[in-house]
Amino acid sequence: MTLLNQRILIIGGSTGMGLAAAQTLAARGAEVLVAGRSREKLDTALTHIRGKAAGYTVDFTDAASLADLFGQVGQIDHLVLAAAQDPAWGPFAEVKVSALRHAMDHKLLGYWGSLQAALPHLRRDGSVVLLTGAASRFALPGSAGLAAVNGGIVAMAHTLARELAPLRVNVVSPGLIDTPVYDAMPAEAKAGMFAGTAEKLLVGRTGVAEDIAPAIAFLIENGFATDMVLDLDGGAR
């Protein structure tokens, strides 16, 4: 399948893996529509995308905001959901239910609402790619909150691949990827976490957003790919 002139909406496309995907897809001829909360970040992102691209503000936790987004965007061929904020990190005994509820709202339920809003605008035999996280794919102490949120997305995707066919539904499950989501950490703590993880991985390093973007493009381009979970974790599993 060629991506030439395919219209692809990426919610969460202004930074990190979403932006890397936008760059890759635009370079392959797609018309890329990136959506996110911050107009400033969207405008900056657009300067890094070569090809057809446009930016839209959206709060994917708000149904009215999603309706407004799709009213502006119109018909699309493919949808990529890459947005997430404030994961519920920490030991199980210390993670408050309110923190988990917030994480659910800002990923699992955000994905749910986004896809529901997108359905009337999605090409019937198009595709959806959902970004999750490796914590849902293997047991990592201190990540039960992430496992609950991302595991829910994986389980949902398996069912939706059948229920929404011939629309194709796939998942990319990244391991530890160096993206701006970790910039809020103290520099020393971040460096230690990444170095410690890299030592345990078969590839000897942690990931970057550019490792994930080609996998997203593959799942969109390959019309025979559905109900798949691609684990890109450097061999962590």
Most trustworthy range by pLDDT among 63-72, 88-97, 144-153: 63-72
Cα–Cα nearest to 128, from 152, 112, 145: 112
**Is position 1 within any domain?**
no
Look up the CATH number of the domain holding residue 155.
3.40.50.720
Q: Is 33 helix (H, G, I), strand (E, B) or coil?
A: strand
**Is position 61 within any domain?**
yes
Asked whether the whole model's pTM tops 0.85, one would answer yes
**Is position 115 within any domain?**
yes
More confident residue, 89 or 118: 118
**Is position 42 within any domain?**
yes
**Is position 100 within any domain?**
yes
**Is position 197 within any domain?**
no
**Is position 204 within any domain?**
no
**Is position 63 within any domain?**
yes
Residue with tokens 């109900």: 227
Q: What is d(CA 84, CA 104) in angstroms, rounded to the nearest whole number? A: 10
User: How many domains does the chain contain in total?
Assistant: 1
Sign of CA dihedral 214, 35, 126, 27: negative
Q: Phi and psi for 51 in degrees, rounded to 5?
A: 130, -165
Q: What is the pLDDT of residues 44-86, one digit of tens each?
A: 999 999 999 999 999 999 999 999 999 999 999 999 999 877 7
Kindly report the average pLDDT of the chain as a whole number.
94
Range of the domain at 77: 7-180+209-227
Q: What is d(CA 77, CA 80) in angstroms, rounded to the nearest whole number? A: 10
